[in-house]
A and B are shown apart, each in its own frame.
Chain A
Amino acid sequence: MKAITQVLAFCCTVFCFSANATNAKDIQTLTLKNGMKVLVLEDHSIPNANMYIFWKVGSRNEQPGTTGLSHFFEHMMFNGAKKYGPKMFDRTMEAAGGANNAYTTENLTVYTDWFPADSLELMFDLEADRIKDLAIDTKMVESERGVVASERSTGLENSNFRSIAQPVKATAFHAHPYSWPVIGHKSDIESWNLKDLNDFYKTYYAPNNAIVVIAGDVKFDNVKKLAKQYFEPIPAQPEPAKIRTVEPEQKGERRVYVHKASVSTPNLLFAYHVPQTEHEDYYALQILVSILSEGKSSRLSQALVDEQIATDVFGFMPEAFDPNLLYIYAIASKQSTAAQVEKGIIKQINRVMTEGVTEKELQKAKNKKTVGFYRDMSTINGKANTIGTYETFFGDYNKLFEATSAYDKVTIEDIKRVANAYLRKANRTVGVLSAKEDSNENDL
């Protein structure tokens, strides 16, 4: 811990940034008659633009038997519609200089098109076709099952994090759909049918369930005209059913152990139940995660990596519509056991709970958030993704531009309070991934 004179100096550190970066008034909005919301950011720095479509559907909207359907459906959205049949979505887009991808999370499915700005109308045409008239081909469903099975197994083969995260989620959640992996269970990937897919499409791919963000070398008036022409005729649908299940409070620590022969040293994953993103404790929790694990001078990095207990450590708390988890992940060093790493993490968390954090640590985390904001906003893709993320999770893109001041309001007392409220033993799940089999020798 640093001397008090230094602490005073930190309080005087003020971030004075020039005003060239994007701000809230640069974003123009439009809501179509069918309820689809369109956000536009004109940015003429490169002759390109993008279209990000955020659908409010993810693995939380699935049921046992169809886990992974949101992600599989994301793949099927590229496999043919009325005007642009199988393969033609990608072929047409790439021939016009465009590229695309898409991702699915526990909460959202997001489609991303990146293109030369003069192909804007074609993007509307391609997207409108698949949103309105997707034609699910049974042959494509079968080959896509193989693709997703390969995606699932290559993730498990190459990533220890995936191997332990799935069992940890399944242990932390007994009731809520956050318990299953986004990619779904193997048996479900093999089993869903055409009816599952068609029902899913009708329910969730309704324009009133989407947020569209377009950033780049475009004009708002032109975007407005095209949105009205291509997207407005797509009929709205009844609002999808709310998620009913509320995860019951966890009343004691839960543990899970996973054996994987190729793991060289044990991997540990801690997960603590935390509230949804819109909760008032969101900002304090993000600052707490940063103080604990962001950067080499963070608490856990110093106590575990510098002290040779772990080789790597990090923490994160994903955005979520429903109460979800705050994670801390560590990989043991050669000379450490899983138990030593676990003890090391708990010790640091307990220190925050009992002694709190310093002004300097708090200011450091706030400074990181401010610089991180500018990094996110340094590309048209970063801008579109960030604007859409705030609009969906916080209900208002303006919150993006208020985030720095929201972080600034977090106090030392807030950090101590949220640490005590959420990082309790009874509220955590601990997962261990190890090459050592969970054998019987110590059972008796």
Chain B
Amino acid sequence: MKMTFKHQTARYISWVLIALLGSVVSVNVQANYTLPEYQKLTLDNKLTIYLMEQKEVPLVDINVVVKAGAIQDGDKAGLNSLTLSNMQLGTKQQTKVEIEESLDFIGAELDTWSNAEFSSISASFASKDQAKMLGVIRDMLITPRFDAAEFAKHKSRHLVRLEQQKESPRAVIGTYFNKLIYGDNGYGASVDGDATSVTSITLADLKTFHSNWYQPQNTAVVVAGDFDSKTMLIRLKALFSGWQNQTLPQRKMPTKAKSFNQSNVLLVNKSDATETRFLIGGEGIKRANPDFVAISVINTILGGRFTSWLNDELRVNAGLTYGARSSFTSYAQSGTFRISTFTKTSTTVEAIDLALKTYQKLWQQGVDEQTLASAKAYVKGQFPPRYETSTELAQLLGEMFIYDFDQGFINNFEHQVNSLTTDKAKHIIAKYFPQQNLQFVLVGKAQDIKEKVEKYGKVKQVNIKDIGFNIQ
């Protein structure tokens, strides 16, 4: 858990930040920008390597991405997440304390991240420390220690954090929404698990999961920043050529979204809540959708920027909320669309009604030339800062590996944005924005709002303090 706190209060929650938190892939992309040159190659053991030199500051980023995520957890929800976290807690070569001491000493940062499909170990450090850092990351990836005492300590912290997540509606509402859209498996998997599943996970489970999924044929090592490609490649070969493959297990495939013949309202009761936070939506698009860019431009108009329709109506005109937005979250095989906002308990219905009414404008009013031109300029203009640092570029190259796209996505972006017309916009809206049987998740004080929200669909109530995300 990473925390930064300031006595600071901003005009609104950064749209960029939300895009990063709420979505696996970036949505805004741009004009005249072409991706810096990079090399992609595959070692004999099928390990994929990406190298991109960026010399502005003397820093290097590594992003190791592995095609393994919570979908493969099976009935032990949280298994991949725990495996990945424990890979940081010591290697055959060094203890946890030795690694932490040595990384802190050189000011290096190391993080792990995973979702339903993928996992990542990423690090940022000074160029002069590249030999040391590459070695540590290699050891974490290939020869983790999986120490029993560290495992027990980590598990105990993880269990408390699962409870702590439930303190914040913002932190958990998305997991409830995916459960509602996909059910318990596939993209409905809860990445961090729950108290029951995590308690059942053993160190032996981690070792098996690691040897099954963390293999060179399933992995890419991305390096971006201030280094020399030739020397780097020699280093990487020396470190990773000896890493052996085994047979990969049968991969569990993600589930499709449920097909709904009615609207459902999942009401998550938080008895001390003073506001209601809600998501409204349904199935969205997969990452490889050929209309991905066009859809993101339309979403910019609906709820992807400050002057978007949703924010304009709910915040600027009505003063009901600090912010309202909409977003597509895309995975390899599917995705979700959702409208999201929050408002004080007493204006819950007013805010939901206004959000639904505003959403209907997509079909009733459509997108005019002027609005479309503004949105196109906006997504193009805001693109270059998204790929400014070696950290961002390393992340992009990692996404190319896991979602199987190439630099054409970046380099053709301007063309794709420019070719969107109001006629095509109409077609995009009809095809991709869910209109019927919308699904609702509300987190708030059930006692005060339950009866009032029955008009939106079939209400199912759960308690936020209940273990996990069981909504059946």
Q: Do A and B associate with each other?
A: yes
**Chain A residues within 8 Å of chain B by Cβ, number:** 99
Interface string of A47-74 (1 = CB under 8 A from B): 1100000000000000000000001001
CA distance A95 to B380 in the complex (A): 11
Give the interface segment out of B138-146, B290-298, B315-323, B429-437: B315-323
B104 lies within 8 A of A298 (CB):
yes
What residues of chain A lie closer than 8 Å to B342, measured between beta carbons?
Answer: 150, 154, 157
A47 lies within 8 A of B32 (CB):
yes
B306 lies within 8 A of A97 (CB):
no
B57 lies within 8 A of A95 (CB):
no
A308 lies within 8 A of B153 (CB):
yes
CA distance A116 to B270 in the complex (A): 44
Give the interface segment out of B160-168, B404-412, B449-457: B160-168
A103 lies within 8 A of B56 (CB):
no
Identity of the chain B residue whose Cβ is nearest the Cβ of A327 in the assembled complex? B5
CA distance A334 to B171 in the complex (A): 20
B33 lies within 8 A of A45 (CB):
no
CA distance A151 to B377 in the complex (A): 29
Give the interface segment out of A25-33, A201-209, A361-369, A409-417: A361-369
Q: Cβ of A18 < 8 Å from any Cβ of B? A: yes
Which of A15, A116, A146, A308 contacts B319 (CB under 8 A)?
Answer: A146
B3 lies within 8 A of A47 (CB):
no
In the complex, which range does the number of interface residues on chain B fall in?
Answer: 35 or more
Which of A149, A169, A261, A378 contacts B271 (CB under 8 A)?
Answer: A261
A168 to chain B, nearest CB (A): 11
What residues of chain A lie closer than 8 Å to B197, measured between beta carbons?
Answer: none
Q: Cβ of A99 < 8 Å from any Cβ of B? A: yes
B57 lies within 8 A of A377 (CB):
yes
Q: Cβ of A153 < 8 Å from any Cβ of B? A: yes
Q: Cβ of A348 < 8 Å from any Cβ of B? A: no
Interface string of B105-134 (1 = CB under 8 A from A): 111100000000000000011111000000
Q: Cβ of B388 < 8 Å from any Cβ of A? A: yes
B306 lies within 8 A of A20 (CB):
no
Q: Considering the complex, which residues of chain A in the window 129-156 have a beta carbon less than 8 Å from any beta carbon of chain B?
A: 142-151, 153-156
Which of A90, A183, A298, A302 contacts B306 (CB under 8 A)?
Answer: A90
B157 lies within 8 A of A99 (CB):
no
Give the interface segment out of B74-82, B209-217, B272-280: B272-280
B106 lies within 8 A of A264 (CB):
no
Q: Cβ of A222 < 8 Å from any Cβ of B? A: no
A95 to chain B, nearest CB (A): 4
CA distance A61 to B367 in the complex (A): 45
What residues of chain A lie closer than 8 Å to B33, measured between beta carbons?
Answer: 46-47
Which of B8, B108, B384 contacts A104 (CB under 8 A)?
Answer: B8
Interface string of B375-410 (1 = CB under 8 A from A): 001101110110011110000000000000000000
What residues of chain B lie closer than 8 Å to A94, measured between beta carbons?
Answer: 305-307, 374, 377-378
B9 lies within 8 A of A47 (CB):
no
B460 to chain A, nearest CB (A): 21
B7 lies within 8 A of A297 (CB):
no
Q: Cβ of B459 < 8 Å from any Cβ of A? A: no
Q: Cβ of B58 < 8 Å from any Cβ of A? A: yes
Q: Considering the complex, which residues of chain A in the window 1-20 have a beta carbon less than 8 Å from any beta carbon of chain B?
A: 10, 15-18, 20
Total A-B residue pairs with C-beta atoms closer than 8 Å? 252
CA distance A157 to B168 in the complex (A): 7
Q: Cβ of A347 < 8 Å from any Cβ of B? A: no
Q: Considering the complex, which residues of chain A in the window 87-142 have a beta carbon less than 8 Å from any beta carbon of chain B?
A: 87, 90-91, 94-106, 114-116, 119, 142
B306 lies within 8 A of A314 (CB):
no
Which of B11, B156, B319, B384 contacts A334 (CB under 8 A)?
Answer: B156
B153 lies within 8 A of A154 (CB):
no
CA distance A368 to B106 in the complex (A): 7
Which of A96, A103, A260, A363 contacts B11 (CB under 8 A)?
Answer: A103
B344 lies within 8 A of A150 (CB):
yes
User: Which of A10, A15, A91, A374 gathers the greatest number of chain B CB atoms within 10 Å?
Assistant: A374
Interface string of B25-50 (1 = CB under 8 A from A): 00000001100000000000000000
Knowing A142-B319, A182-B7, say if A311 contacts B59 (CB, 8 Å).
Answer: no
What residues of chain A lie closer than 8 Å to B343, measured between beta carbons?
Answer: 150
Q: Cβ of A212 < 8 Å from any Cβ of B? A: no
Give the interface segment out of A158-166, A278-286, A391-399: A158-166
Interface string of A344-377 (1 = CB under 8 A from B): 0000000000000000100110011111101101
Identity of the chain A residue whose Cβ is nearest the Cβ of B465 in the assembled complex? A262
CA distance A154 to B173 in the complex (A): 14
Knowing A150-B344, A364-B105, say if A45 contacts B378 (CB, 8 Å).
Answer: no
B160 lies within 8 A of A47 (CB):
no
Identity of the chain B residue whose Cβ is nearest the Cβ of A97 in the assembled complex? B381
B153 lies within 8 A of A370 (CB):
no
B378 lies within 8 A of A331 (CB):
no
CA distance A74 to B11 in the complex (A): 7
Q: Cβ of B14 < 8 Å from any Cβ of A? A: yes
B378 lies within 8 A of A97 (CB):
yes
Knowing A91-B374, A96-B381, A99-B306, say if A263 contacts B167 (CB, 8 Å).
Answer: yes
Knowing A95-B374, A379-B385, say if A334 contacts B7 (CB, 8 Å).
Answer: no
Q: Cβ of B184 < 8 Å from any Cβ of A? A: no
Identity of the chain A residue whose Cβ is nearest the Cβ of B320 in the assembled complex? A146
Knowing A94-B374, A264-B167, A305-B157, say if A374 contacts B384 (CB, 8 Å).
Answer: no
Q: Cβ of B312 < 8 Å from any Cβ of A? A: yes
Q: Cβ of A270 < 8 Å from any Cβ of B? A: no
B156 lies within 8 A of A17 (CB):
no
Which of B15, B166, B377 contacts A95 (CB under 8 A)?
Answer: B377
What residues of chain A lie closer than 8 Å to B169, measured between beta carbons?
Answer: 157-158
Identity of the chain B residue whose Cβ is nearest the Cβ of A104 in the assembled complex? B9
B59 lies within 8 A of A95 (CB):
no
What residues of chain B lie closer than 8 Å to A263, measured between beta carbons?
Answer: 167
CA distance A156 to B128 in the complex (A): 43
Identity of the chain B residue whose Cβ is nearest the Cβ of A313 in the assembled complex? B3
A87 lies within 8 A of B124 (CB):
no
Q: Cβ of B226 < 8 Å from any Cβ of A? A: yes
CA distance A161 to B384 in the complex (A): 34
CA distance A91 to B308 in the complex (A): 10
CA distance A441 to B363 in the complex (A): 61
B449 to chain A, nearest CB (A): 15
Q: Cβ of A316 < 8 Å from any Cβ of B? A: yes
Q: Cβ of B415 < 8 Å from any Cβ of A? A: no
Q: Cβ of B332 < 8 Å from any Cβ of A? A: no
Identity of the chain B residue whose Cβ is nearest the Cβ of A163 in the assembled complex? B167
Q: Cβ of B235 < 8 Å from any Cβ of A? A: no
Which of A99, A294, A369 contacts B378 (CB under 8 A)?
Answer: A99
Knowing A151-B322, A154-B342, A360-B105, say if A20 contacts B56 (CB, 8 Å).
Answer: yes
CA distance A145 to B320 in the complex (A): 10
User: Which of B5, B14, B127 gathers the greatest number of chain A CB atoms within 10 Å?
Assistant: B5
CA distance A181 to B8 in the complex (A): 9
Known: A46-B385, A87-B307. 19 other contacts (CB 8 A): A20-B58, A45-B56, A74-B11, A90-B306, A90-B307, A95-B377, A143-B318, A147-B319, A150-B275, A150-B342, A157-B274, A183-B9, A265-B163, A295-B103, A297-B105, A302-B97, A333-B157, A334-B160, A378-B390
Closest 6 CB pairs of A and B: A97-B381, A146-B319, A371-B107, A143-B319, A295-B104, A95-B374
* Contact sample, A vs B, 11 pairs, CB 8 Å cutoff: A45-B56, A105-B7, A150-B342, A151-B322, A159-B168, A264-B166, A311-B157, A314-B3, A378-B59, A378-B389, A379-B388
